[in-house]
Structure 1
Amino acid sequence: MKKTTSLKMDILGISSAGLCLLHCLIFPLLSILPLGLSHNPYIDLAFATVGLWAVLNIIKKASLIVVVLLLTSITLILLSAFIDIFLDYHTNLLIVGGIGMILGHLINYSNHKNTH
C-alpha cells in the first residue's frame, strides 16, 4: 500500500512541479502580449502547497539524497513565493526549485521502479 501511495505522490509532485515550471517559463512570454494578464504570486503559492503535500508524504520513505533535494527545492519555491507576495519581487529561485523538485521526484520514482 505504501509503495502505491508513494508512487502516486511522485507522479503528483512531478506533475505539479512540471506545470509550475511551465507556468514560470511561459507566463513572461504571455505578459508581453496585450491580453491584460498580470502575474499572480498566489498561483505560485498554490503550486507550492501541492508540492509541499507531495514532499511531506514522500520524505518518510525516501533516500537521503531525495529528501535533501526535495526539501531544499520546496524551500526555494516557498521562499520565492513569499518574496513575491510580500516584497513584490520575482526571483529565479522558483525556477531552480521547480527543476530540483522534478529531479527529486524523478530520482525517487526511478528508485521505486528499480527496487520493485
Structure 2
Amino acid sequence: MKKTTSSFYDILGISSATICLVHCLIFPLLTILPLGLSHNPFVDLFFATIGLLAILKIVNKTSILISAILVISMSLIWISVLADIILEIHLDLLYIGGVGMIVGHLLNYKLHKK
C-alpha cells in the first residue's frame, strides 16, 4: 500500500513540476503575441502548492539525498513565486527548482520501483 501511495505522489509531483516548467518556459513567449494574455503569479502558486503537498507526503519516507533535492527545489520555487507576488520580480530560481523537482521525483519513483 505504501508503494502505491508513494508512486501516486511521485507521479503527481512529476506531472505538476513538468506542467509548471512548461508553463514557465512557454508563457513568456505567448505574451509577445497580441493575444491579450498577461502573467498571473497565482498560477505558479497553484503549481507550487500541489508540489508542496506531494513533497510533504514523500519526504519522510525516502532517502536523505532525495529529500534534500526535493526540499531545496521546493524552496527555490517558493522563493521565486513569493518574490513574484510580493516584489513583482521574476527570478530564474523557478526553472532550477522545477528541474530539481522533476529529477527528485523521478529518482524517488525509480527507487520505489526496485
CA distance in 2, matches of 1:113, 1:68: 20
1:22-101 maps to which residues of 2 (within 5 A)?
22-101=22-101
1:102 aligns with 2:106: no
SS at structure 1 position matched to 2:17: helix
Counterpart AA for 1:30: L
Runs of 4+ in 1 over 4 A off after TM superposition: none
CA distance in 2, matches of 1:78, 1:46: 11
CA distance in 2, matches of 1:95, 1:16: 13
CA distance in 2, matches of 1:20, 1:106: 16
Provide TM-score, normalisation by structure 2.
Answer: 0.99
SS at structure 2 position matched to 1:33: coil
Unmatched segments (≥5 aa) in structure 1: none
SS at structure 1 position matched to 2:102: helix
Structural RMSD (CA): 0.5
Deviation at 1:2, TM superposition (A): 1.1
Deviation at 1:10, TM superposition (A): 0.1
CA distance in 1, matches of 2:45, 2:62: 24
CA distance in 2, matches of 1:20, 1:111: 24
Counterpart AA for 1:113: K
